[in-house]
Structure 1
Amino acid sequence: MQVTKPKTKKVSLTKQRRAETWQRLTKEQQSVIQKHIHYQQTSLFMNHELIGHGRHWSLVAFHENMNFDSPSSPQLYCDCGRRLKYQYVLTNNLGEEIKLGITHFADHIGIPEAVARQLQAEIHQLNFGLDELLQRIRRHAGLNQEMRNWFISHQDEFDDLPPNTVDFITQNLPPEREIQTDIVRSYKKATYVKKDHVHRKKTKLNKKAWQEIFREI
């Protein structure tokens, strides 16, 4: 079963709403989302050849600073000392490791400005996608229990599902909009039961009944 290609819409939550929504999630749900974010970030970096100062760099870890709005709490930092919202850990072909923010790629490891700007734009797009997910969670926009159970039993019938889709649905998180639409459509088609048509016998009025009707007119 071919699934529709997913799209990402630009949705932006306030810091407060983002934090509130995140705190409402279970540890398992948070873990699934973090795994999803890491996969997206890794895939993004693999699509770019990061060469700076004559060395090839690759992403090995990505961390989000959940205490960014609370400076007195433990923080994440760039190797230059700047406090970070998002920290990227990269290694090169010589085994050297560096921790930095996305705006420091050109400064610290010599990645061309054009490549660094493209990375920033694509990462911002991923962040919009995360906000859309959290917004849908706030609105309880996922599948109901019956549909989730059906999908888990029939997941092999769906081709080209985005990574982590099964984990999302198992943990009662909404899958991407187009994927959810395909699942709902398939579920309804598979579980549809045609109702038996009840033929009602028409009652014929006899002569006496007609006389009673016209007597009232």
Structure 2
Amino acid sequence: MTKIVALTQAERTNILNQLSPMQVEALNEFTRYAMLSRFHTRHYLRQTDWEFQGMVIDPWYDRRHEHRGDNLYCDCGRRLKNQFILRSKTTGHHLFLGISHFQQHASIPAKVEREIRAGINEINLYMDGILVLYQAKREFPTAMFQYVVTHHGFKNQEGTILYQRCNLFRHVNLPLHPRDYEELKKRYLQLKAGKIHRLTKKEITNLLQAIADDWRQVDQQIILFNYQLRQESIPPQSIQRIKSNSINYALQRRHTRFFVTNYKHIKDLTLTKARAQLAIKLRQLSFYIQIMDDRPRAKYLCDQARQIMIAHETSVSNSHFFGIKEAKSLINGMNVC
């Protein structure tokens, strides 16, 4: 049984201050992904007028002396570490809130607010387990992970949280939480013993659900990019053109023009086709990173998007695609040559 370790805020901040910038960003992406998963699976806002549009985390909230970029704020003006973005189903109005103001600004029941807060606390406990191991000089189990990957231990299971978390932490040498480590070790020992696991129907269903959740989170990140464009007063027709270019870019070099537009449709596909649609969606996200990378107000979004790409072992290229050049020109209000 894993011992639960709860750090005080001072202890947590002390260890966080020892991390490199890339380690801080990876850890915050883990936190954000875990929170997004909770919103998607527990349907916190189902009985309200609000739908969850995304979450932005300030990785430098506890490092004020070396803060990078703009701060995050609640609509009330209070500085935030976790900014939740909600959209009204009836009016389309957006709210940018800290968890303590869900009830005050969005009339979300106190019970729901408490459930969300409990989720954040649970995720913080999980993160504390990682930080304690880091302080004890534990590292990412690179050799074990590489063995599992090389021997196809994650074949058809690239959508699992374990695989994505391993990719995030491997790049920055952060230790895995004990539960994740034990799950990775179990796969490793099975492969060492020559056991080949064949997916059951239930496992395939769960994997399709995981891919659908991933697709949805990538889509929400793209929605936030488009919302940022609207906030920067980019004309609607230009935003529509940018969206069209992003889809064309995503489908480049594909033998099909099939493009899923709703995460629910993913579950009706085969695993191969579902993974292909996620890859297309990630390429669309790459498009937005490339066109928004030099815009200061989009820094958090670009940083988060890069962490998503890392988690999925997907690179962000520096493409010369005409649609990217045109999109940048539309954003900057220039004519395309």
TM-score (norm 1): 0.67
- 2:176 matched to 1:180? no
Greater mean deviation of Cα atoms: 117-126 or 90-99: 90-99
Q: Distance in 2 between matches of 1:57 and 1:182?
A: 34
Contact 2:140-2:170 within 8 A present in 1 as well = no
User: In the TM superposition, what whole-angstrom CA distance separates every residue of 1:33-71 from its partner, at most 9, and x where no partner exists?
Assistant: 22222211111222124168x623214122236335749
Contact 1:65-1:86 within 8 A present in 2 as well = no
Amino acid corresponding to residue 92 of structure 2 in structure 1:
G
Identity level (%): 25
Contact 1:79-1:100 within 8 A present in 2 as well = yes
Change (3 A) 1:71 1:8: farther
SS in 2 for 1:156: coil
Amino acid corresponding to residue 77 of structure 2 in structure 1:
G
What does 1:43-82 align with in structure 2 at a 5 Å threshold? 43-46=37-40, 47-50=42-45, 55-64=49-58, 66-68=60-62, 70=64, 75-82=71-78
User: In the TM superposition, what whole-angstrom CA distance separates every residue of 1:78-137 from its partner, at most 9, and x where no partner exists?
Assistant: 111223343222222233211111111011101111111111111111111112211122
How many positions carry a matched residue from both structures? 185
- 2:98 matched to 1:101? yes
Q: Distance in 2 between matches of 1:56 and 1:136?
A: 39
Partner of 1:147: 144
Q: Which has the larger radius of gyration?
A: 1
Partner of 1:125: 122
Q: 1:86 aligns with which of 59, 73, 82?
A: 82
Amino acid corresponding to residue 123 of structure 1 in structure 2:
I
- 2:30 matched to 1:36? yes
Q: Distance in 2 between matches of 1:142 and 1:130?
A: 15
Unaligned runs of 5+ in 2: 194-337
Unaligned runs of 5+ in 1: 1-6, 193-217
Greater strand share, structure number:
1
Partner of 1:166: 166
Greater mean deviation of Cα atoms: 76-85 or 158-167: 158-167
SS in 1 for 2:154: helix
Contact 2:55-2:85 within 8 A present in 1 as well = yes
Q: Distance in 1 between matches of 2:51 and 2:62?
A: 26
Please tell me the root mean square deviation across aligned C-alpha atoms, in Å: 3.4
Greater helix share, structure number:
2
Partner of 1:201: none
Partner of 1:12: 6
Q: Distance in 1 between matches of 2:168 and 2:114?
A: 31
Greater mean deviation of Cα atoms: 101-110 or 147-156: 147-156
Change (3 A) 1:110 1:117: same
TM-superposed deviation, 1:157: 6.0
TM-score (norm 2): 0.46
